[in-house]
Amino acid sequence: KQEVTQIPAALSVPEGENLVLNCSFTDSAIYNLQWFRQDPGKGLTSLLLIQSSQREQTSGRLNASLDKSSGRSTLYIAASQPGDSATYLCAVETGANNLFFGTGTRLTVIP
């Protein structure tokens, strides 16, 4: 069964810093990988989706990379802002619409 791990579980950074969130998965036979943001008490918002044939996706200050062979993905956030504070989840799809989620990284950006 696919296992998805996110490290660190929590991260605090001062405003303006660049940061990297890590995601690893055990089975490289994935369909795609998605990064989500979850605010406290709220649902999930999709940030970026990387298909298995791609190596990275960018949206604004966010850049996600995928190394399928090593089972790793990173989410890079440039010039962090207090509004970026949330829990970030990665999820891999192993085909058949089955998303396996990591346990998330709780990010706090300190003004």
Partner 1 sequence: DAGVIQSPRHEVTEMGQEVTLRCKPISGHDYLFWYRQTMMRGLELLIYFNNNVPIDDSGMPEDRFSAKMPNASFSTLKIQPSEPRDSAVYFCASSLVASSYNEQFFGPGTRLTVL
> Looking at 22, 28, 32, 74, which residue binds partner 1 (CB under 8 A)?
32
Q: Tell me which amino acid residue 69 is.
A: S
- To partner 1, the closest distance from the beta carbon of 43 in angstroms equals 4
Q: Tell me which amino acid residue 78 is.
A: A
- To partner 1, the closest distance from the beta carbon of 17 in angstroms equals 27
Within the chain, how many helices (H) and strands (E) appear? Answer: 0, 11
Q: According to the binding rule CB under 8 A, does residue 40 interact with partner 1?
A: no
Sign of CA dihedral 65, 70, 72, 78: negative
Contact set for partner 1, span 81-110 (CB under 8 A): 89, 91, 93, 96-99, 101-104
CB atoms within 10 A of CB 110: 11
* Binding footprint of partner 1 on the chain (CB under 8 A): 31-32, 34, 36, 41-46, 49, 51, 89, 91, 93, 96-99, 101-104
